[in-house]
Structures are given as C-alpha cells and as structure tokens.
Amino acid sequence: MPQPKADEVVLEIAYAGICGTDKHLFAGLPGSADVTYPRVLGHENSGTVVAIGENVQKLAVGDRVAIDPNIYCGDCDYCRAQEPELCENLSAVGVTRDGGFENYTTAPAKVVYKIADNVSLKAAAMTEPLSCVVHGIDLLTLKPHQKAIVLGDGFIGQMFIQALKAYGVHHVAVSSRKVSDAQHVELLKSMGADTVVDGNAKEFADNYHIVIEAVGSSFTQEQAVANAEKGGQVLMFGVGNPDQTFTISSYAVFAKQLKIQGSFINPYSFQDSLALLASGKIDVERLISHELSFAQVPAYLANKFDESVNKAVINLQKING
Ligand SMILES: [Zn+2]
Ligand SMILES: [Zn+2]
C-alpha cells in the first residue's frame, strides 16, 4: 500500500483504460514524456480516494474520482505562457510515475477530479482520452454552420463525432473503411454522424470546414488537407511514428488559406470533459468493447490479441473480487 506525500492522495483504481500510447511505451517507443523503466503503465484511470496527504483539502476518503495523468511544473517558460502542455518538465501518471495498472497508486491532489454521482467509474476512466479530444476542439474555432468530417471511425473518431455535435457543429461526417457494413454505418450514425463517407477514397464528394485527422497514417493526413474547404481548419490529431512524413500541396494550403493545427495532450480540459459525461452529451461507456484480465494485457499491448477491439479497459474491481 503506497503512502501519500503531503500533497498527494492514494487511489484504489476501479478502471484503467489501455491506449495506443501504452503500446508505444510497452515497445520502448517515446510517449508524451520520457519513460524510466520499470514502470507500471495506466494513464486513463478512475477510482476511489482511500488516503490523503496532510496538505490535501479538496478531496476526502471515499471520493469517486478521475485522474488527469499530466502534471505540469508551473514554472517553465511554457507553463508561464499558458501552454502547460508544452511543459519542459512534464511528468505523468502511468508514464514517468506508476499508473493505474495496479490496485493502488498515488497522484498529486491537483490532478485528481471528483466525478458526478451519475457518471460511472467505467465511464470516468475515459475522461483522459476525452479530454485530449476536448483540447483538440479547444484549438479550433467552431461555428454551428460548419460542416465537419472526422477521418477515422475508431474510438477517438467516435468521441470526436459526439464532441463536435455537443459543441454545436450542425453537420458531422465521418470516414470509414467499412461503409459496406450497414450495421457499422448505423452505429456511427447513432453516435451523431450525419453522413458516413468511404475512407478508401482519396477525394470525397464534398469539402469540409473542419477536418479532424484521427488515424495518424500518411494516407489520412494527406486526405485531411485534400478535402478541406476554403478557409478550413485541419486538426492533425492522430499520432504517427516519429519518422513518418506526408506530402501535401503547398499551393492548396495557400489558395485555400488553410490552418493546419497539431494537438498535444489535454490542458484545461478535464472539467469540460466531466461536464460532457455528466450531461449525457457524450456517451463513452458504449464505446468500451472489452474488459481485459491482467493475463490478457501483455498480448494486447504487443498487438497479439486476436479479437477486434474498439476500446479496452482493465476492470480492477473485478480483479480485486
Ligand atoms: Zn491514452
Ligand atoms: Zn512547465
């Protein structure tokens, strides 16, 4: 049982989401911050406070919470310029300190958020990936009249569809490589997609004011710029390999006056994410397809799990019995 430092709390983890970043870290590739090994992974965590340090005032034993993994120094040039996500001394639960793939972990109280009574601990474990989506949206200028498209229909794309709708964009399309699967298309529409376009095509019938690249492949990155409307905003959200490149027309960027925007982690976005979950405007629980046992996790992290997974979590309550 870990002991809390003065500004920390100890959490009994309920659910820990497993994300693509965990696969990168498991393979020894870089994540949001440099990892020191050995490390307990798990940065998408929900749980219950079981102990608090002597300086902690806003949290109490028994509180149901979600953890923002990212801890900013507050003191570097980026933190002082209100860009803490670019912090030079970034540390993170499940990356530079032990995370939620074990029963108990500690976190600074300042990154621990109480959840509403009507938000389940399972949904709350998705607050971190949702908060990255909300940060991406924060970086755009959204207007109700815009037409948006999300490139990629996976877990992140599914959250973007719901978030764009929640933020008032009137028409949201999604690209999918499974447009011939009627059931899959219906599922995407039930999440708020107005149209589902064939993601195998390089050029779509329409151009879009807002293009969200949520895959991270060169193909979809090129697709993103090619299908942006004049004056469009392209959010490059998907994470490619460090040495990956893509080719775009610089003339298109000029002639269409495009904004191409990167998005890194999740500053100032946890409160909005928790509000979106509590209001029911975003449903993340239905997106979770698998509750894995610990025994299944290594195979999953090594891409040797043979079922198709929309989103996987570890249910530590079940493991605790
Ligand atoms: Zn993640
Ligand atoms: Zn900093």
37 and 152 fall within a common domain: no
Distance 42 CA to ligand 2 centre (A): 22
Can you give the three-state secondary structure of 245-274, one letter per residue?
CCCCCHHHHHHCCCEEEECCCCCCCHHHHH
319 has a pLDDT exceeding 70: no
pLDDT digits (tens, 9 = 90+) for 159-179: 999 999 999 999 999 999 999
Distance 211 CA to ligand 2 centre (A): 30
pLDDT digits (tens, 9 = 90+) for 231-281: 999 999 999 888 999 999 999 999 999 999 999 999 999 999 999 999 999
Distance 129 CA to ligand 1 centre (A): 6
* Helix runs in 112-172, H state only: 121-124, 127-138, 155-166
User: In angstroms, rounded to a whole number, what is the distance separating the alpha carbons of residues 183 and 71?
Assistant: 41
Give me the pLDDT at residue 33, please: 83
Tell me the ligand closest to 23's alpha carbon. 1
User: In angstroms, rounded to a whole number, what is the distance separating the alpha carbons of residues 188 and 113?
Assistant: 30
Q: Report every protein residue that has its C-beta within 5 angstroms of ion ligand 1.
A: 19, 21
Distance 111 CA to ligand 2 centre (A): 15
321 has a pLDDT exceeding 70: no
pLDDT digits (tens, 9 = 90+) for 6-52: 999 999 999 999 999 999 899 988 777 888 889 999 999 999 999 99
DSSP state of 317: H
Q: Residue 3 falls within a domain, yes or no?
A: no
Q: What are the CA-CA distances from residue 4 to residues 55, 90, 216 (Å)?
A: 10, 20, 38
Q: How many CA atoms lie within 13 A of 174 on its CB side?
A: 31
Here the CATH number for the domain that contains residue 27 is 3.90.180.10
318 has a pLDDT exceeding 80: no
Please give the residue range of the domain that contains residue 108: 8-131+266-320
Q: Residue 19 falls within a domain, yes or no?
A: yes
Distance 32 CA to ligand 1 centre (A): 10
Distance 195 CA to ligand 1 centre (A): 27
pLDDT greater at residue 31 or residue 106: 106
User: In angstroms, rounded to a whole number, what is the distance separating the alpha carbons of residues 35 and 41?
Assistant: 10
Distance 307 CA to ligand 2 centre (A): 40
145 has a pLDDT exceeding 80: yes
Here the CATH number for the domain that contains residue 189 is 3.40.50.720
Last residue of a domain, one of 215, 230, 262: 262
φ, ψ of residue 236 to 5 degrees: the values are -90, 90
Q: Residue 182 falls within a domain, yes or no?
A: yes
92 closest CA partner among 136, 50, 34, 161: 34
What mean pLDDT value characterizes the chain?
96
Average pLDDT for residues 54-68, to the nearest whole number? Answer: 98
Q: Residue 1 falls within a domain, yes or no?
A: no
Last residue of a domain, one of 262, 294, 310: 262
What is the C-alpha R_g of the chain? Answer: 20
Token duo for residue 2: 């870990």
